Amino acid sequence: MIRVNLLPREEKAKRKSASAPIDLKIGDMVLPAIVLGAAALVITGSTMSQRARQAGLEKSIQQVDAESRALAPQIARVNQLAQERAELDLRMGIISKLEKGRTQSVRLMDELARCVPDHLWLTGVSQDAGNHLQLEGVTYSNLVVSDFMSRIERSPMFSNVELAVAERGQVTDKSVVKFQVSCTVNPDKSAN
């Protein structure tokens, strides 16, 4: 019987090498064993180093935690003092603001009294929440109103003086001029 091999040449070469017996020597196995041993030593060494570092960090965390627990009463006291100081600063600010505005109304009325010429009477004074002042009054002449406005303008306590209304009117049987003047109060300026 005749045997015909129909496999391609590449397959023939692979079959021959696969069927050939492996001839290994001890010298061929030593080098890979040394590399594997060195790799195992490096891995074991780095693992042990990481574990030692982890243990050191855990010990450090425990020490800091113990210090934190020991200092907790002092920290609480410092926080309480900081809160009390903030409340005290707020109160002092309010007192300072009240102290600053305490004499403003008195100074305002004193300065207005200095600015009022003869034969002029103020019938109303109102101030809004800001620094806007509305003055109402009566007099016998427009010249007296003009004199009053120029006196207010010269005062450092007032600015932006404007005449809102000036009209003829009657008080009892006398002919008068009723007027309204608006201005801005400058509380930081002292009266002369």
DSSP string, 52-77: HHHHHHHHHHHHHHHHHHHHHHHHHH
**76 falls within a domain:** no
Give the mean pLDDT of 183-192: 69
**99 falls within a domain:** no
Give, for 2, the enclosing helix (H) or strand (E). none
**73 falls within a domain:** no
Q: In this structure, what CATH number is given to the domain that contains residue 163?
A: 3.30.1360.100
pLDDT at 7: 64
User: To 10 degrees, the CA torsion angle through 8, 9, 10, 15?
Assistant: 90
**118 falls within a domain:** yes
Give the mean pLDDT of 39-57: 94
Query: How many domains would you assign to the chain?
Result: 1
**12 falls within a domain:** no
pLDDT at 171: 82
**5 falls within a domain:** no
Highest mean pLDDT among 12-21, 49-58, 100-109: 49-58
Contact predicate 148/120, CB 8 Å: yes
pLDDT at 170: 83
Beta-strand relationship, 158-171 and 174-185: antiparallel
- Token pair listed for 37: 């041993």
**57 falls within a domain:** no
Query: Which domain, by its residues, includes 146?
Result: 104-185
How does pLDDT run across 92-149, given as a tens digit for each residue?
998 888 777 777 778 888 888 898 999 899 999 888 877 888 999 999 888 998 999 9
Answer whether residue 60 shows pLDDT above 80: yes
Residue 128 amino acid letter: D
**17 falls within a domain:** no
